Amino acid sequence: MSGRPFDPVQDAPLLSAYVDGELEGEDRARVEAHLAASAEARREVERLRAFNRATAGLRLREAPPEDWEAFWASAYNRSERSLGWVLLVVGVAVVGAWGLWQAGSAIVAAELPLPVKLALAAGAAGVTVLLFSVLRERLFTRKRTRYDDIVR
């Protein structure tokens, strides 16, 4: 037999392919040589065959047409709302950035004392930090529920 020897870790998926009758040539010969030498591999092949026998008669039940209609209606609603939110956020971000640029330009050009300009910049930076903090927290808590930390 030519080629590389059977690696039980790397070539483990080949056992399933062998049970399913999907192997030919060199791979089939490598698996059969491994089966002849390994009792554990023969037990695994028998477990795979038993699993195939147990699941052979299982079939998925077809969903009723009403369920499909409800699924597609909700999918359209979700995609429309997602697109709407994306467009809203982009629009608000662009207008907000333009407004901030205009406000910053006006503050820099204005004849205000330097401490007032610094105080306005600090206030704007504080609002920005708070906004991003709230957004980050909302996005983080959306992925978790309040019950995630409960340990029984």
pLDDT in tens, the chain (152 residues): 456 777 777 888 888 899 988 888 888 888 998 899 989 989 999 999 999 999 888 888 888 988 888 888 888 888 888 999 999 999 999 999 999 899 888 888 888 898 988 898 899 899 989 999 998 888 877 666 666 666 65
Buried b (16+ CB within 10 A) or exposed e, 80-110: eeeeeeeeeeeeeeeeeeeeeeeeeeeeeee
Question: For the whole model, what pTM was predicted?
Answer: 0.41
Q: Rg for the chain (alpha carbons), in Å? A: 32
Q: Identify which of 15, 52, 47, 51 has the alpha carbon closest to the alpha carbon of residue 30.
A: 15
Neighbours of 18 (CB within 10 A): 20
Dihedral angle, C-alpha 27, 32, 38, 39, nearest 10 °:
130
